[in-house]
Structure 1
Amino acid sequence: MDEGLRRAALAAKGFMPEDEGDALYAAARTVPAGGLILEVGTYCGKSTIYLAAAAREAGAQVVTVDHHRGSDENQAGWEHHDPTVVDPRTGRMDTLPFLRRNLEEAGVEDVVTLVIGRTEQVGGWWTTPVSLLFIDGGHAEYQAQADYEAWAHHVAPGGTLLIHDVFSDPADGGQAPYHIFLRALEDGFKERSRTGSLRVLDRVA
């Protein structure tokens, strides 16, 4: 991975450990030329930069979908709340300015397209097949299930599905990503690898 992009990814706000970021990059690096990488849950762009680095090398493009108002677990009073991403004008979270700055400073705007909206909105009209899908949106059960429902069927045969924050033991973390991981296995995806909480699955052609 380009060292400048690695530094940019590590410096960006987010919740992905370095080894998981490297695994995300490695999986995305195998996307075919002209392929599409779709990320659900952008936050401030840490994982987006890993994906963009891979896309640039592979000759692919990244689309990242987020409403930028924060997931349930990012709101005030919750463990993963960051008051620095709250817009003082509205009192609401707004991670979009942080994302824009991070992508600009990383120099990856040429391979990343931002879609601002909720899964329930964007997934309803989306029709383009996806070479790699990375689900890392809200971790409430309803939101994780909505993300999977909206996007998993867009993964092309032979394509890749990655799910972040998968913990089989409730003591380690929330269970919603684990539940959609199990759902993916039931739907015929095959697990390829795991790094920390990141699971990589293949859609059998």
Structure 2
Amino acid sequence: MSIPTMPTELRNAARRAKGFMPDAEGLALFETAAEYGTRGPICEIGTYCGKSAIYLGAGARQAGSVVVTVDHHRGSEEIQPGWPYHDPSLMDHRFGKMDSLPTFRQTIAAAGLEEEVIAVVGPSDRVAALWNTPLGMLFIDGGHSEEPVTKDYEGWAPHVTPGGALVFHDIYPDPADGGQAPYRVYQRVLASGAFKEVRHTGSLRVLERVGPGIG
């Protein structure tokens, strides 16, 4: 099977967008979306400012699919004031809270992906409780501490269709490289036997559903 090519203008838009997705991992995300988006819609948990949604949206366009990206847009723990990844330009001073939604909307509009990328604004676990559509691909990249990443996995992984993909970002086997909560959940997934790993690019892991349950 030939490897899809991400259009140059969309790749450049993704590179310019605010966010934390390295380009090599973003391209892997695009290729995964182009492949698995043919099996159902794509869901992203953790939108932030839309950088990864451009890679996903470009893949969804090639697959004839869509991306539903879920985020409360108030920021995960690591981007709050006083934390290393905090961006003061995203503060809504009227409420004293982070608000990445306006920047996300501008990012997706500028990339020309408003038809492919659909924003759902709300807590991941509350949205998951209402969700019923089988997913061709699920990308988990929301909060990176134990509770949110566990809730994201338990709430959304059951919706991944047989043969669909579950993708994790920021998987660091060595604690010196990054936080361990996503890695522990990733290990739990592999131990369950419901998914097998099919791709590894940087901190990105792509798993394919091969059995029932999530473990």
Instruction: Return the TM-score normalized by structure 1.
Output: 0.97
Rate the CA distance shift 1:139–1:36 in 2: closer, same or farther, 3 A.
same
The structural deviation recorded for 1:119 is 1.3
The structural deviation recorded for 1:34 is 6.6
Give identity over the alignment, percent.
56
- Read off the aligned partner of 2:196 and give its amino acid letter: K
| 1:29 aligned counterpart, secondary structure | helix
The structural deviation recorded for 1:33 is 3.5
1:166 corresponds to 2:171 = yes
- Read off the aligned partner of 1:143 and give its amino acid letter: P
- Residues in 2 aligned to 1:196 and 1:32: alpha-carbon distance in whole angstroms: 22
4+ residue segments displaced more than 6 Å: none
Q: Which runs of 5+ in 1 are unaligned?
A: none
1:22 corresponds to 2:32 = no
- Of 38, 49, 57, the match for 1:52: 57
In angstroms, what is the RMSD of aligned CA positions? Answer: 1.0
1:199 corresponds to 2:208 = no
How do residues 32-181 of structure 1 correspond to structure 2 at under 5 angstroms? Answer: 32-33=37-38, 35-181=40-186
- Is the 1:44–1:99 contact (alpha carbons within 8 Å) kept by the matching residues of 2? yes
- Residues in 1 aligned to 2:101 and 2:201: alpha-carbon distance in whole angstroms: 28
The structural deviation recorded for 1:112 is 1.2
Q: Which residue of 2 aligns with 1:3?
A: 8
- Residues in 1 aligned to 2:109 and 2:39: alpha-carbon distance in whole angstroms: 22
Q: Show CA shifts across 1:66-101 (max 9, x none).
A: 000000111111111111111122221000000000
Q: Which runs of 5+ in 2 are unaligned?
A: 1-5
- Is the 2:39–2:135 contact (alpha carbons within 8 Å) kept by the matching residues of 1? no
- Residues in 2 aligned to 1:16 and 1:32: alpha-carbon distance in whole angstroms: 20
Q: Show CA shifts across 1:95-128 (max 9, x none).
A: 0000000010100000111100111210111111
The structural deviation recorded for 1:42 is 0.4
- Is the 1:55–1:61 contact (alpha carbons within 8 Å) kept by the matching residues of 2? yes
Q: Show CA shifts across 1:30-65 (max 9, x none).
A: 025372000000000000000000010110111000
- Is the 2:37–2:60 contact (alpha carbons within 8 Å) kept by the matching residues of 1? no
- Is the 2:37–2:59 contact (alpha carbons within 8 Å) kept by the matching residues of 1? no
Instruction: Return the TM-score normalized by structure 2.
Output: 0.93
Q: Give the paired residue count.
A: 205
- Is the 2:35–2:63 contact (alpha carbons within 8 Å) kept by the matching residues of 1? yes
How do residues 183-198 of structure 1 correspond to structure 2 at under 5 angstroms? Answer: 183-188=188-193, 189-198=195-204
Q: Show CA shifts across 1:4-41 (max 9, x none).
A: 11111111111111100011111111025372000000
- Residues in 1 aligned to 2:185 and 2:52: alpha-carbon distance in whole angstroms: 20
